[in-house]
Chain A
């Protein structure tokens, strides 16, 4: 089944403790992206990647890191999480071409930083 898989689905952590949220897709998509969703603010892009080893900042990159060493994986790293990073996070992937341009989303990771 074609899908985007995020792990974990739920995470409670303490301020300053490094964490990684994994994202994997099995559709051979070039484009991958991370978003955070907060009440009243909609979806805000954190980082995106057009292909392996090609990443770029989105609208709210501060406090986050990403890597794209393999096509299928795009982990989101919080080196020193803070309470303002408490949010619902989504990973998405898409083909780069215009033939099938829509994005496919993971189920989300609800992160709480205390």
Chain B
């Protein structure tokens, strides 16, 4: 069965510092991995995805994520955090060998402090 873990409920970082939001996954086949962001009173917005190829994928708003197959991780990163990055972040996996369904992690709340 598929599963996604986000080990940190909350991540605090100072503005201008690099940020990392962690995600690990478990799938039976090849993983399709995603990061979404949710701002208050809004739906989830797609940030980036990994399908295949380069382990470092770039997405919206300067975010990137690093896929590590041996560690089954897909951590979200940004070189320099902005206060406006403060939001709830979800990691998700889709396994096309297992019914094509999405499984989401529990979410990590990112607070960027000025």
Residues of chain B lying within 8 A (CB to CB) of residue A96: 100
Task: Given A90-B44, A108-B43, decide whether A101 and B49 contact each other with a Cβ distance below 8 A.
Answer: yes
Cβ < 8 Å to B, chain A residues 21-51: 31, 33, 35, 40-43, 45, 48, 50
Q: By the criterion CB–CB under 8 Å, are B100 and A42 in contact?
A: no
Whether A103 pairs with B90 at a CB distance below 8 angstroms is no
Interchain CB contact under 8 A, B107 and A105: no
Pair count A-B, CB < 8 A: 55
Q: How many residues of A contact B (CB 8 A)?
A: 25
Q: By DSSP majority rule, is chain A's interface helix, strand, loop, or mixed?
A: strand
In the complex where A90-B44, A102-B46, A108-B42 touch, is A45 in contact with B107 (Cβ < 8 A)? Answer: no
How far is A107 from B32 in the complex, measured between Cα atoms in Å? 24
State which residues 1-57 of B face A: CB under 8 Å: 32, 34, 36, 41-46, 49, 51
* A104 & B46 in contact (Cβ 8 Å cutoff): yes
Q: Say whether A102 contacts B101, CB under 8 Å.
A: no
Contact A43 B32 (CB under 8 A): no
**Chain B interface (Cβ < 8 Å from any Cβ of A):** 32, 34, 36, 41-46, 49, 51, 90, 92, 94, 96, 99-102, 104-107
